[in-house]
Structure 1
């Protein structure tokens, strides 16, 4: 399944409710399962982003739907990156080189 990195920043609401952040991550993982996606891990970070979520989804549409659901709750705003593992990158290189 494709992998996605979601760079997350807390909204004002999310900061006010910081004590529930671990529970919210668990809830997000459950919501992903309903979409046939999976939360691989989440890391709370120091720097320009408050957290980074690593997830798998069957396709871009599913990943986008999941992150729209997450953002709609109002605790975070996300920036999402599609990530390629080594095998996928080797396939891309093969396509590029003909």
Structure 2
């Protein structure tokens, strides 16, 4: 699930997943962080969720995916679209 909060000069996008699905650590990786798995790990947020917030410039588009333990890559079904294997996000 994606949550968006508009700011004056940027949009804060929060990437949200269930706390235990998939099990183990998960990071959001994309063109906004150089596809670096360690840049944005999801952390516990609410009782049954984990999340990470990324500030992105307005009027941009980005490709991203999630990377879980065991080299398991997956997409976000709530994304704005798909581009090849990746989810797309339009700010």
TM range (shorter): 0.3 to 0.5
Which structure is higher in strand share?
2
Higher Cα radius of gyration: 1
Q: Give TM-score, length-normalised by structure 1.
A: 0.38
- The structure, 1 or 2, with the larger RCO (C-alpha pairs under 8 Å, 6+ apart) is 1
Which structure is higher in helix share?
1
Q: Give TM-score, length-normalised by structure 2.
A: 0.40
